Amino acid sequence: MLIGLQGSGKTTTAGKLANIIRKQGKKPLLVACDVYKPAAIKQLQVVGKQLDIPVYANENTKDVGLIAKQAISEAIKKLNDVIIIDTAGRLQIDEVLMQELKDLKTNLKPHEILLVVDSMTGQDAVNVADTFNKELGIDGIVLTKLDGDTRGGSALSVKKITGRPIKYIATGEKLNDIESFHPERMASRILGMGDVLSIIEKAEEAFNDEEASKIEASLKKNKFDLDDYLIQLRQMRKMGSFSSILKMIPGMSQLKDVNVDDKEFVNIEAIICSMTKQERKEPRILNGSRRLRIAKGSGTTVQQINKFMQTFEMTQKMMKSMTSGKGKHNLMKNLDLNQFK
């Protein structure tokens, strides 16, 4: 059962947690129990559709206790073994909200109540956590919006005041931008020392062994074409926003003027997808007329294509210079780290 103030990110967090749970071999069901905020149910349904995870909702009643009980019956029928309930929030804590959550807790008897807290609210996050814990009793905390300027200092205070563990942190808007909380890694981020271990974990989860083998085979043949580049780019995007990854690299937090626009990677993918099979295999044939056609097909400009091709040629030279005798996993580590240089 997820609780928290309106705007803290409960609905998105519900989807992110469901995604994590599914990767652990479970069959989650998302339940829409926010019957007050406009389009709250629709928002959860959109999240569920993006993840291909079922959502239970009943828009014919505002009785959240009834909705939750119906959801349990639905889960039993459909063999869903974990239920994640997205509850209503308020702009501030009030008696009506607390009473509804207390009733829901009494009727449902959830195994775990997680408080979702916006880490950008600073000291207010601590006050919110303290009140919810005293009134309702929480089992853990999810800190959201750690992709902004905040480094998570509020995590220390929230843990101290409530005595409850911080279980997850959300580091971006994408549905895979969530990770388990590790105190020592958070300390490194707060001190501006980076978080290399989290980068490695994200890479291990994102990189597909089969696709890694394809790239390795290409390198052994002294080839690295745009199809290989596209595979690598898509795997990198699975790791989350590039901006959030950069912040985990030691020393990068000191460089305030470094801005990475993730839309550029969308443009690059569109450029490659607008090429023919032959053009991807043999980029040297990309003359002016071909580049103009690709620009029109990808919604970009010829200048953007020229800039990308210069970058690709540099990457291609770097890849070809790598020894082909390395193992698959060492190879993918090199591909991964070279992207951050």
**pLDDT tens, 52-72?**
999 999 999 989 999 999 999
Torsions phi, psi of 132, nearest 5?
Answer: -60, -40
**Per-residue pLDDT for 319 more than 70?**
no
As a whole number of angstroms, the distance between CA 134 and CA 130 comes to 6
> β-strands 178-180, 114-118: how paired?
unpaired
**Percent of the chain at pLDDT exceeding 90:** 38
As a whole number of angstroms, the distance between CA 338 and CA 183 comes to 28
**Per-residue pLDDT for 185 more than 60?**
yes
246 vs 108: which has the higher pLDDT: 108
Strands of 119-185, DSSP E: 140-144, 166-170, 178-180
**Whole-number pLDDT of residue 230:** 85
The amino acid occupying position 144 is T
Q: Which domains does the chain have, with CATH numbers?
A: 2-181 (3.40.50.300), 200-338 (1.10.260.30)
Q: What is the pTM of this model?
A: 0.59
Computed on alpha carbons and rounded to an integer, the radius of gyration of the chain in Å comes to: 23
Question: Cα 200 to chain center, whole Å?
Answer: 15
113 vs 91: which has the higher pLDDT: 113
258 secondary structure, DSSP code: -
Q: Classify 323 in phi/psi space as left (phi over 0), alpha (psi -120 to 50) or beta.
A: beta
Average pLDDT, the chain: 79
